[in-house]
Chain A
Amino acid sequence: MSPILQGIITIIIGVGGCVGYFFLSNLILDTLIYPARGKNIASNIRRANMVRPWLFLFPAIFALSLYLVYPVIGSFLRSLYNRSGNEFIGLQNYVELFASPEFRTAFLNNILWALVVPAGATAFGLLAAQLTDRLSWGNIAKSLIFMPMAISFVGASLIWKFVYAYDADIGLINAIRAGLFGSEPVDVMQIPFWNNFFLMFILVWIQTGFAMVILSAALRGIPEETIEAAIIDGANPFQIFFKIKVPQIMGTIVVVWTTITILVLKVFDIVYTMTGGNFGTEILPSYMMSFMFRDDGRATAIAFVIMLVVLPVMVWNIRQARAEQR
């Protein structure tokens, strides 16, 4: 059977299954279990309406418990067992992790990523939003800046390999250095400490577009009167930007910042593709990949450390969402 046919059949089964489930379950509920007739008609309708939300929710909850809730719990339990998973060792995996220098490097690098990337992407995004808003061809510029967002992290990393390549014939940076200053090529990925920032810049490059579109929408939502008043009072453009506009979109800036922070803590693709975690660039998600298939206990323990790092941001974000609901 051709793969295309297979795909089409899958979609039909998937979507058709949803529609069929939805239609049939409602039908059964309304006609067989609690029919809207007979002497119990009032209570039957009420009961049917109490059950109905669960009919809608059931498939999604089922899928999420299978692939989300169960694995989170399973992961935690697994992290308490040894490498082959047959001996309970308590928190030993965590203890050993914190004792290992590699883990500490990865942890510190990760903190650095979580601070630098959101700051960089938000700052560039804000700048791009402000500058392109005043251009007649601003929307084209925006599309172009946003384009990296559509490329995968691996794809972007491969593209940046061309920028950072050692060979001055291929590597853009080394070519520019050679062309302008006649310098010898350097391997950018092996410069200690700073190589982390070169890697971070790739993610900043990708996420700037995201920050830009959201902040640009927010900037356009600022009431004009506030800016007019500032102009009349003789404020210069910088004052208008930093003292009038930025404070008014602070809420959105924070949302963008936290969204990117949460994302940063998951991205392993860039480090994995560019350096494989060598030269002191390891971060937790890529460090975890190095334990994949070797030591599940250790790998799940690292995953939980990542979870603990994300947790404060996550809780904060949910509280924010909750405040909006009220």
Chain B
Amino acid sequence: MFPRPIEKAGPGARIGYQLLLPFVLIIWLLPLLAIFATSIRSGADINAGNVFGWPGEFAMIENYVAVFTRSQASMYFINSILITVPSVAISVSLACLAGYALAIYRFRVALPLFFLFVAGNFVPFQILMVPVRDMSVRVGLYDTIAGQFLFHAAFQTGFCTLFMRNFIKALPFDLIESARIEGVKEWRIFWFVVLPLVRPALAALAVLIFTFVWNDFFWANVLTQGESAKPITAGVRALNGQFVNNWHLVSAASLIAAIPPVIMFFLMQRHFIAGLTLGAVK
């Protein structure tokens, strides 16, 4: 059997393994554990200097509620959802169409076009900053939610198309061929044959794009100015300033920003990892 389970190795190696690995793992996750521990303490505990010992009282609910009631966290949170979900929906649907065309049709520019998408995927987004911001200002999308999700949807379309193209290309071409011979219309092939088959890829892609967009901080800074359209990533930095020295609240706020993608990750773990693997290796 491969990989050989450690249970079959010698006793020395086994004990070393079983003891050392959890230890190393805890060290690796210590930053997360520490911030979580801080976020469930009361402010009094921290002021008394009891940060790493057993909490004097648990104030988890109070702290997390305080973040929402004492700041605009809930607004940032809703903004993030309003930016992320449409971006995912639009970019994935556009990419299905384009990916299908690039994978199924053989036409002269298919390959160069494909490499254009690959290249677009690697372009450092800094290069887009000034023109995209100026364009948003000109058409009145600056500092709005729509301005942000339109940009994200368009920008992520490159990666999504690449991803869908590779996935559709891996489907057995005979399926499409035989449907064509049967005289099925092209759009029906796409809708009834290809789309149902790529559903797992769609899930993986949606999860990936969700985290990409949710975690974006650069465009949140470039495309917004006031507070009203800021997503949580930019908002949490503002909260950080607002709760100076209220470490229990700062830590709770930081964790709140991280929670949706982490939950998303644990729920859709298989899809998430499959998506990353497909995106990187293919």
Contact = CB atoms under 8 A, between A and B. Distances in A.
Q: Do A and B bind each other?
A: yes
A256 interface: yes
A153 interface: yes
B59 interface: no
B66 interface: no
Nearest to B210: A150
Chain B interface, DSSP helix/strand/loop, else mixed: helix
B82 interface: yes
A18 B93 contact: yes
A64 B280 contact: no
Interface in B199-240: 211, 214-218, 221-222, 233-234, 236-237, 240
Interface stretch (A92-100, A112-120, A132-140, A185-193): A132-140
Contacts of A23: 187
A11 B127 contact: no
Contacts of B193: none
Contacts of B126: 266, 268, 285, 288, 302-303, 306
Contacts of B107: 50, 53
A49 B187 CA distance: 12
A53 B110 contact: yes
Given A68-B128, A145-B28, A162-B34, A18 B261 contact: no
Interface in B41-63: 46, 49, 51-52
Interface string A190-210: 000000000000000100001
Interface string A130-159: 011111100001011111111111111011
A292 B223 CA distance: 11
A306 B127 contact: yes
Nearest to B97: A56
Which of B89, B125, B146 gathers the greatest number of chain A CB atoms within 10 Å?
B89
Contacts of B89: 11, 14-15
Interface string A42-83: 000000011011111101110110111111101100100000
A132 B25 CA distance: 11
A61 B254 contact: no
Given A74-B131, A288-B126, A304-B127, A60 B35 contact: no
A268 B218 contact: yes
Contacts of B261: 150-152
Contacts of B81: 7
B264 interface: yes
A307 B123 CA distance: 7
Interface string B54-89: 000000000000000000000000100110011001
Given A75-B130, A146-B273, A155 B93 contact: no
Nearest to B30: A172
Contact of A154 (B132, B233, B280): B233
A285 B222 CA distance: 13
Interface string A161-190: 011000001101001000000000000000
A246 interface: no
Contact of B124 (A4, A175, A303, A317): A303
Interface string A86-110: 0000000000000000000000000
Given A147-B262, A155-B258, A321-B118, A160 B185 contact: no
Given A147-B262, A303-B124, A273 B237 contact: yes
B281 A255 contact: yes
Contacts of B135: 71
A27 B21 CA distance: 61
B227 to A, nearest CB: 14
Contacts of A210: 276, 280
A59 B154 CA distance: 10
Interface string B240-258: 1000000100110010011
Contacts of A26: 185-187
A3 B113 contact: no
Interface string A224-265: 100100000000000000000000000010011001001001
B25 A22 contact: no
A60 B273 contact: no
Contacts of B128: 67-68, 71-72, 75
Given A15-B93, A155-B215, A303 B127 contact: yes
12 contacts: A7-B81, A18-B94, A53-B102, A60-B95, A67-B132, A67-B155, A144-B29, A150-B261, A170-B46, A175-B51, A268-B218, A306-B127
Given A27-B187, A155-B233, A310-B122, 12 more contacts: A3-B82, A26-B186, A53-B107, A56-B97, A56-B101, A57-B97, A268-B126, A268-B218, A289-B221, A292-B129, A304-B127, A317-B122
